[in-house]
Structure 1
Amino acid sequence: MDINAKPIVDQIIESPVIAAVRDGVNLEQALAAPVRIIFLLASSINQVGWQCDLIREKGKTCFLHVDLVGGLRPDQQGMRFIAEKIKPNGIITTKAACVRWAQNHHLATVQRIFLLDSQALRDGISNIRAARPDLVEILPGLSEKAIQLAVSSFDRPLIAGGLIRSREDVYTALSAGAIGVSTGEASLWQL
């Protein structure tokens, strides 16, 4: 973990529910909620700048899913533009190269891994070892056993995400070893 990411990890541990936002209505709800971190999962090049500015102005930490910004390629130049012009606190990506490019620009990194089967776990372990992101997010985040397996397999702090819909899902993920839970379910942002 990069020294710059430690305060973010500490922030997640203190306030483990992360708002996963896909639209403007959800963004308004997330800004009003007691969550400290917002994952901006879908945006466009025309909106992402003011969205990240607004998140930071409200004193919250902004992570941008760089693979899902319409009109912006998550390549070396795109990452430079994101770091210099949009200025999120960190990025989310499924791509190892994006993790490295973001780290070159001193952005905190979350690498998403889809744990669909044993092969996906093996590939994920290989990708995480190669990219060395600050945090790993596994999807879906519902299975206690999968979370425990991921915690023991990855030498990175773990976030569980995807299909988190109830308090029980949040508590199960945290008790299984995840340090945080990302969810688009606005009612859980109050936890």
Structure 2
Amino acid sequence: MDFLKTVMLEKKIGATIRRVEDLNEAIHHPNIGTIFLLGADINILPSIIKKVHSDNKVLLVHLDMLEGAGKDRAGIHLLARMGLRGLVTTKPNLVKFASEEGMAVIQRLFVLDSESVKTGIKMASAVKPNAVEILPATVPRFVIQDMKDALGIPVLGGGLLRTEEDVRLALSKGIDAVSTSLRHLWEMNFEK
């Protein structure tokens, strides 16, 4: 899978949505192709999936924050049957289950120190997500390069991005794309 093409739609910024009420803004934004949904209820998820897909956008649900879905193989299978094509999780076993269902999967990693970088690489190597998302996106260049060298998959960044300069710096360090809830950053345009 060419993750940056099929999931990020060759865009550098994905919209993070924490409240379902904010979904329409991301769906109708011309610069946004991918929506990271950080909070929802399983009961409304089918309508969200349908709405996002009908607008030719990509929806990634952060499974750890989804209410009402089992955080196990059966829960992942249910989400796949609902039409969900991708998810984000911090849990390696869920990466494995979602991959088995044919979903695009992002392993979210919190980078606190050198040991967390090693642990994150080891964990992602074992379960083989389609991409990793590191938080915060403001990590040093060597962290991004170590992850890319070890994993050979795209590295996304999220968290602690406030300004356009922050986004440009993260991208200049090797991050392939970022996710952000800040609307003014959705306005950024990048040439291929």
> Is the structural similarity TM-score above 0.5?
yes
Q: Which of these residues, 5, 8, 14, is aligned with residue 10 of structure 1? A: 5
Please identify runs of 4+ aligned residues in structure 1 that moved more than 4 A: none
- Structure 1 unaligned residues grouped into runs of 5+: none
RMSD: 1.5
From 26, 36, 47, the counterpart of 1:39: 36
The percent identity for this pair of structures is 32
Q: Matched residue pairs, number?
A: 185
2:125 alignment counterpart = 129
Which of 105, 110, 118 is equivalent to 2:114? Answer: 118
Query: Among residues 16, 35, 43, which one is paired with 1:20 in the alignment?
Result: 16
The amino acid of 2:28's aligned partner reads A
Letter in 1 for 2:24: E
CA distance in 2, matches of 1:99, 1:54: 25
Q: Distance in 2 between matches of 1:81 and 1:164?
A: 34
Give, in angstroms, the shift of residue 188 of structure 1.
1.1
Q: Which one of the candidate residues 165, 169, 172 is aligned to 2:166? A: 169
Does residue 56 (structure 1) correspond to residue 53 (structure 2)? The answer is: yes
Partner of 2:152: 155
* Pairing partner for 1:65 from 46, 62, 67: 62
- Structure 2's unaligned 5+ residue stretches are none
Q: Deviations over 1:49-108 (max 9, x none)?
A: 2112111111101111111111112200000000012x2221111111111111111101
Give the structure-2-normalised TM-score.
0.90
Give secondary structure in 1 for the equivalent of 2:179: strand
Instruction: Map Cα deviations across residues 14-72 of structure 1 (whole Å, 9 max, x no partner).
Output: 21100011113321211121211111111111222211211111110111111111111
Distance 1:110 1:50 in 2: 22
Structure 2: how far apart are the matches of 1:177 and 1:170? 11
SS in 1 for 2:53: helix
